[in-house]
Amino acid sequence: MKETNQMIENRLKRAVESSVPNVLPKLLKQIEKQEELKKMNNLDEKDKVISLETRKSRPALRWQRILAPVAAAIILLLGSWFAYAAYATQAVIAFDVNPSIELSVNRNEKVLQVDPRNEEGKSVIDDMNLKGVDLDVAVNALIGSMVRKGYISEVRNSILITVDSKSAVQGDRLQKRLSGEVSELLNGYALQGAVLSQTSRADRHFRELAETHGISPGKAALIERLIKQNPAIHFADAARLSINDINLLISSLKAAPEGVSLTGMASRKEYIGEEKAKSIAFEHAGVTEQDIRQLEIELDYDDGRMIYEVEFYIGQIEYDYEIDAKNGRILEFKSKDKENAGTPPAQTDQYIGRGRAEEIALNHAGLSRNQVRKLETEMERDRNRMTYEVEFEHENYKYEYEIDAESGRIIEVEIEKIRAGNGQSGASPSTQRTTQREGEHIGATRAEEIALNHAGLNRNQVRKLETEMEREQNRLYYEVEFEYGDKTYEYEIDAVTGAIVKVEIEMIKPKNSHPASSSPNQDLFIGHGEAERIALNHAGLTRSQVTGFEIEFKDKKSPPYYEVEFKYGGYEYEYEIHAASGKILEFEKEID
């Protein structure tokens, strides 16, 4: 069976399509039942608010069932079990802020072991010796140290307590008691603490999850419960949030996840606040409160950080901002014309994304992420199109790329030698020679050679080659310009050393001379001239060499494309060129 990828994909699709079961009737019945239940439960809603869970996780239950008789047998066998009790761990209590610490206690709640789970945890414990002391005393000491060292503060006031007890009853009791104690302790420090507490068995599953994401098993359990309640949350994303952030997320969900109880309110002081977020968005859009309607602001998270989502309308246009809740940076900006919903130019789905833009730029420069410094990417609006501006530095050059946000096409490249700031590293030979004489210059021809060589082109391939000598702050250089394909190249070459000081490669702007430019979409397309250039370029021919040249814009089928046809050397060439990106979709060369 010879199959292409496409055929395999089609087969797979058909096979699944024909085996989908019909769950709709069952589904509707189940929802109906739930609705009824909800109505009944509305009466005892109060009880539900502080629903302390008595371990619901199924794997734990199963293990308990299996292990219970075994444990009973062991107790019978070891008559002297009580003698061990003093040394056996009865419960492990984990405290998570950012420092993460676990205390193991025996039946009498004496601390058997103190386990810092990260570096911050170690610094909290410092040289305290808590072994053998009462749990309450140890908790007092830990909270005190966390406050003194600034881990708990007005700005970050959330703490998670996870009790993993051998006895469910004792576990619940401990959870309630510690939650109350910690709240009171924080009050004593004049902090409005927010305490999250839960019971959870730190079984293998949570240990593994914790290991993978570099968090504590308690935090892993908390996130899983959060996901149970809101399955749209990504574990990996949430793992990167602090307990305070997670607490805020929970408060935005209105109800606490099952098995987690809350006291106090998570601090929002670390964030810029809704007002500030609003004014940042307004300023960016160049509007005031009077200009807009249907304003919505919401605290949310994305990619492991907290964001404000600001949405509003001006006329028919919807503006949508994502603003970093901590530093106020605009992470994403969309505007969408509701009336033209059929041709949505501003859907994020259509953008290649910051990461991909960086990849394209780095790839083009032949560099990897860890080779470069100061990598910065911003989304910008350039006339009618959105672009990513990717900037970074490598060795003593600064790179600047402008990349079409939809097609990923490189629109502009600028590579510039970083000027020696305060005479540090960069006392280059050229700047030292204050008296430059004509004889010392490399000459225009040599400068052209250097530029062409760098571009990997030769003199006959390029158009409009022009070279001039220019002076800038005591420095003489050659400016070499030429065009190749659909791009213009501009080089600055040090007249003395021949070093390339700056490279700029830019798309030649599509000329709007074409009559069809009345359509508002036309700006999104590359234009006939550009399509012609791309096709001829690909064939390695010029317009004067070919015969029977025809070009047609077709948008009957999606995506719109240019059809370019011509003849040369007994062959007929046919191209289909993607109208928005200039990508060659199809190419045929046939004997005429």
500 contacts other proteins (rule: CB under 8 A): yes
- Where in 399-438 is the site for other proteins (CB under 8 A)? 408-410, 413, 415
Instruction: Decide if 225 contacts 198 (C-beta within 8 A).
Output: yes
11 contacts other proteins (rule: CB under 8 A): yes
Q: DSSP string spanning 457-469? A: --GGG-EEEEEEE
Of the pair 109, 481, the CB lying nearest other proteins is at: 481
Q: In what order do the strands lie in the sheet with 91-96?
A: 111-116, 100-105, 91-96, 158-165, 194-199, 260-263
Instruction: Decide if 384 contacts 368 (C-beta within 8 A).
Output: no
Distance CA 370, CA 372 (A): 6
Distance CA 193, CA 196 (A): 10
Q: Which of these segments, 158-166, 265-273, 363-371, 508-516, binds other proteins (CB under 8 A)?
A: 363-371
Task: Give the 3-state secondary structure of residue 379.
Answer: strand
Of the pair 145, 488, the CB lying nearest other proteins is at: 488
Distance CA 227, CA 203 (A): 18
> Closest Cα partner for 218 from 149, 132, 115?
115
For other proteins (CB under 8 A), the number of binding residues is 96
At 45, which helix (H) or strand (E)?
helix 45-49
**Site map 281..320 versus other proteins, x via CB under 8 A:** -----------------x-x--------x-----------
Query: At its nearest, how many Å lie between other proteins and the CB of residue 455?
Result: 4
25 contacts other proteins (rule: CB under 8 A): no
Q: Which of these segments, 5-13, 45-53, 153-161, 269-277, binds other proteins (CB under 8 A)?
A: 5-13
209 contacts other proteins (rule: CB under 8 A): no
Query: At its nearest, how many Å lie between other proteins and the CB of residue 49?
Result: 18
State both tokens at 317. Answer: 């246009």
Exactly one of 68, 75, 78, 341 binds other proteins (CB under 8 A); that residue is 341
Query: At its nearest, how many Å lie between other proteins and the CB of residue 417?
Result: 9
Of the pair 306, 534, the CB lying nearest other proteins is at: 534
Of the pair 353, 529, the CB lying nearest other proteins is at: 353
Exactly one of 193, 217, 259, 582 binds other proteins (CB under 8 A); that residue is 582
- Where in 96-125 is the site for other proteins (CB under 8 A)? none
Exactly one of 41, 51, 108, 348 binds other proteins (CB under 8 A); that residue is 348
> How many other CB atoms are found less than 10 A from the CB of residue 460?
5
Exactly one of 181, 498, 563, 565 binds other proteins (CB under 8 A); that residue is 498
211 contacts other proteins (rule: CB under 8 A): no
Q: In what order do the strands lie in the sheet with 475-484?
A: 373-382, 385-394, 397-404, 410-417, 500-507, 487-494, 475-484, 463-472
Backbone angles phi, psi at 582, to 5 degrees: 80, 10
23 contacts other proteins (rule: CB under 8 A): yes
Of the pair 278, 487, the CB lying nearest other proteins is at: 487
Name residue 526's amino acid: I
Query: At its nearest, how many Å lie between other proteins and the CB of residue 153?
Result: 30
- Where in 542-581 is the site for other proteins (CB under 8 A)? 558-559, 578, 581
34 contacts other proteins (rule: CB under 8 A): yes
Q: CA distances (Å), 441 to each of 84, 152, 455, 475, in order? A: 90, 65, 22, 12
The partner residues of 313 in beta bridges, in order of sequence, read: 293, 318
Instruction: Decide if 323 contacts 286 (C-beta within 8 A).
Output: no
344 contacts other proteins (rule: CB under 8 A): yes
Exactly one of 181, 337, 359, 414 binds other proteins (CB under 8 A); that residue is 359
Name residue 130's amino acid: L
Exactly one of 287, 330, 499, 541 binds other proteins (CB under 8 A); that residue is 499
Query: At its nearest, how many Å lie between other proteins and the CB of residue 17?
Result: 5
CA angle 293/294/295 to nearest 5° reads 95
Distance CA 471, CA 120 (A): 56
- Where in 149-168 is the site for other proteins (CB under 8 A)? none
Of the pair 12, 72, the CB lying nearest other proteins is at: 12
Distance CA 146, CA 232 (A): 33
Exactly one of 397, 444, 465, 521 binds other proteins (CB under 8 A); that residue is 397
- Where in 232-271 is the site for other proteins (CB under 8 A)? 232-237, 253
Distance CA 117, CA 96 (A): 9
529 contacts other proteins (rule: CB under 8 A): no
- Where in 175-204 is the site for other proteins (CB under 8 A)? none
Query: At its nearest, how many Å lie between other proteins and the CB of residue 39?
Result: 14
The partner residues of 408 in beta bridges, in order of sequence, read: none
Instruction: Decide if 476 contacts 441 (C-beta within 8 A).
Output: yes
